[in-house]
Structure 1
Amino acid sequence: MKNFIAVMLFLSITLSAYSQGCSDAGFCTMGAMKPDQNYSKRIAIKLRSIEFNYYRGTSLVTPIIYAATIDFNLGINDYSSFQIKLPYQWVEGSLGETAGMGDISLSYTRLLKATPKWNINGTLGAKIPSNDGNTTVNNEFTGNVDAPIHMYYQQSLGSYDAIAGVSAISSKWLIAAGIQVALTRNNNQFVWGNFPDYPFQDYVRKYNIGRELLRGIDVMLRVERNWRFTNFNFSLGALPIYRITKDEGIPPGSNERTKLPNTTGLALAVLGSFGYHFDVNNSVKLIQGIKLVDRDFNPDGLTRDEVLSISYVYKF
């Protein structure tokens, strides 16, 4: 009971202060690519856990993205585990409001090699869309008709994605690399003309368009330096994500699919984390990132200014 009360106080104080959202398509928090992973010289560690996560994210325009996620890690044996992430997301912005289930993340992680100083883990995973990425809104700005809204407001990326990654973890360092490939395109049909009655049309045109978007391939590298003590730990690191191939979609004023310009390039964030362990079973953690570099053109609606993830973790 004392631990439960402490967790609730910690979360309520932190949430009321400030929080932001995630800025990648999901693979940076899956399996071997997750931040703030524990290192153990013993193979038989607790692989089963349930994590409750909340975030609030600001976009480059007005939408504010909220999400609550349940993250299950199910140990298969001492060497491998299966992860399931179930998010619920809601968005508020100048163009409207949306809410619903987000994309389901599934991954399998296995310990590939253990040495006296390092553990090497590998992950294979997928993201399953909850819808086709074409949620509509009906309000005074759309002329009171159903109109598809931009990807910033969508709960789903609308695509099936394949994910793979590997990490090396020591008592001080976490180094991880991953790749995410969108296998299908979404059905998003947002165009500026969907909001003819919005009073500031220059603002509407700040939303990058790419109808029926097929995202390019993303690769990531996570490097973290960790400091661990008896009941708490903290880390500092960097997370570059590079889109190595162009997005494909239908640009403004066209009905033909094409490679969209300026959709490749680097998104770079610096990160810090803090964790507190009440006992071997209960812990809380904060992970904050500050974006330093963004891609020029972002029709996928994934870009965030900052990231602050707040979680309670129960291991069993």
Structure 2
Amino acid sequence: MKQIIYILSILGSLSMYSQGCSDAGFCSVGNTFTDELNTSKNQLDFGGIIGGGEADIFYISPYVTYTRNFSESFSMSAKVTYSQASGDFGTRGQFGDAFLTSNYVFKEKNAKTWSTLLGLKFPFTSSNAKINDISLPLDYQASLGTFDLIAGVGLKYKKWFFNTALQLPIFNNNKNSYFDEYSASNDFSSTNLFERKPDVLFRTTYTINTKKKFTFKPNLLFIYHLGEDSYENIFGNRTTIVGSDGLTLNGNLIMSYAISSNRSIELSLATPFAIRDSRPDGLTRSFTAGFIYKYAF
């Protein structure tokens, strides 16, 4: 218990300024990994994230995930996200992305268990939602409008779990038309016909089990953005956004409680240690808190 209190005190003492992540779902790809063999055939996750963004934007982002375990080693998951943003421009909500992922867990050998993940992300929007025919920055969009490939590998060793993954945009359907020059706000970057570079993720997690059905998983999440994003300026020329590449480092604490053998709830809190200089993708958050209800059957 002293370990838990110490971890919480560290997280609470840090400034709550979060760079965000890639599209909703990539930051949780480490949790999507199946790091142990499955026993239930099906699982439903009902979750949501609340957060505050640039210019006092408030977000509510619910999602649902269905997982089917075809064997003790192989499973597939389908996830659908929704996001509502409220701020000075108004309120806009849309379905965001669909994720289809597969997991394979190898047999444990020498206290080590390897697992793999392969998935695709499909956007429901072209990232050009408007309010009263006014173009909105990416901070108000539910998706970045890209079709992405997600691939990764994980390693479980005793109470430690390490995983790394790549999110690679393979087709860009982003039709955003926001120009900072034509906006009454100076809080957001121009993102007309935005193009985003890939991300690489690495997460290290330590599991603390208690005798009262509680599990704590403090972890560190490294996300490296592999290049500077770009947009098309008012003259029709492709312009790179300086400082939009680089490293984000987040500290995260996942707390779960087993209600019964097939039901549990989970709370996730995060805070950053390092952020990118420029974040035009609209994923900046001043705070985030996530909640999940899991039901296996």
Do both proteins adopt the same fold according to a TM-score greater than 0.5, normalized to the shorter chain? yes
Alignment partner of 1:309 is 2:290: yes
**CA separation of 1:110 and 1:58: change in aligned 2, threshold 3 A:** same
Q: Deviation of residue 194 (structure 1)?
A: 4.6
Residue 27 of structure 1: aligned partner:
26
Counterpart Cα distance in 1 of 2:102 and 2:72: 13
- The TM-score with structure 2 as length reference comes to 0.87
The correspondence of residues 10-159 of structure 1 with structure 2, limited to 5 A, is 23-25=21-23, 26-30=25-29, 33-34=30-31, 40=36, 43-46=37-40, 48-138=42-132, 146-159=133-146
Matched position secondary structure for 1:61: helix
**CA separation of 1:182 and 1:280: change in aligned 2, threshold 3 A:** same
Matched position secondary structure for 1:236: strand
Residue 191 of structure 1: aligned partner:
179
Indicate which of 254, 260, 265 corresponds to 2:246. 265
Residue 277 of structure 1: aligned partner:
258
Paired positions, count: 277
Alignment partner of 1:165 is 2:152: yes
Instruction: Give yes or no for contact 2:57–2:88 (8 Å, CA) kept in 1.
Output: yes
**CA separation of 1:238 and 1:257: change in aligned 2, threshold 3 A:** same
- The TM-score with structure 1 as length reference comes to 0.82
Counterpart Cα distance in 1 of 2:126 and 2:62: 21
**CA separation of 1:195 and 1:261: change in aligned 2, threshold 3 A:** closer
Give % identity.
24
Residue 201 of structure 1: aligned partner:
none
Q: Gaps spanning 5+ residues in structure 1: where? A: 1-19, 139-145, 197-203
Indicate which of 207, 217, 240 corresponds to 2:198. 217
Residue 174 of structure 1: aligned partner:
161
Counterpart Cα distance in 2 of 1:212 and 1:47: 42
**CA separation of 1:73 and 1:181: change in aligned 2, threshold 3 A:** same
Counterpart Cα distance in 2 of 1:225 and 1:189: 43
Q: Deviation of residue 262 (structure 1)?
A: 1.3
Instruction: Give yes or no for contact 2:34–2:103 (8 Å, CA) kept in 1.
Output: no
Q: Deviation of residue 257 (structure 1)?
A: 1.3
Deviates more, 1:187-196 or 1:162-171: 187-196
Counterpart Cα distance in 2 of 1:45 and 1:117: 20
Instruction: Give yes or no for contact 1:112–1:120 (8 Å, CA) kept in 2.
Output: yes
Q: Deviation of residue 47 (structure 1)?
A: 5.5
Instruction: Give yes or no for contact 1:246–1:263 (8 Å, CA) kept in 2.
Output: yes
**CA deviation vs aligned residue, 1:262-292 (integer Å, no higher than 9, x gap):** 1111111101121110221010111111022
Counterpart Cα distance in 2 of 1:63 and 1:113: 46
Q: Deviation of residue 206 (structure 1)?
A: 2.0
**CA separation of 1:261 and 1:173: change in aligned 2, threshold 3 A:** same
Counterpart Cα distance in 2 of 1:227 and 1:21: 27
Counterpart Cα distance in 1 of 2:35 and 2:135: 46
Alignment partner of 1:288 is 2:269: yes
Counterpart Cα distance in 2 of 1:52 and 1:266: 30
Residue 207 of structure 1: aligned partner:
188
More strand by share: 2
Q: Gaps spanning 5+ residues in structure 2: where? A: 1-17
Indicate which of 221, 230, 235 corresponds to 1:248. 230
Deviates more, 1:282-291 or 1:204-213: 204-213
Matched position secondary structure for 2:171: coil
**CA deviation vs aligned residue, 1:75-112 (integer Å, no higher than 9, x gap):** 12211111111122111011121011111111111113
Counterpart Cα distance in 2 of 1:263 and 1:28: 18
**CA deviation vs aligned residue, 1:137-196 (integer Å, no higher than 9, x gap):** 11xxxxxxx121011101121111111111112441111101111123311111135544
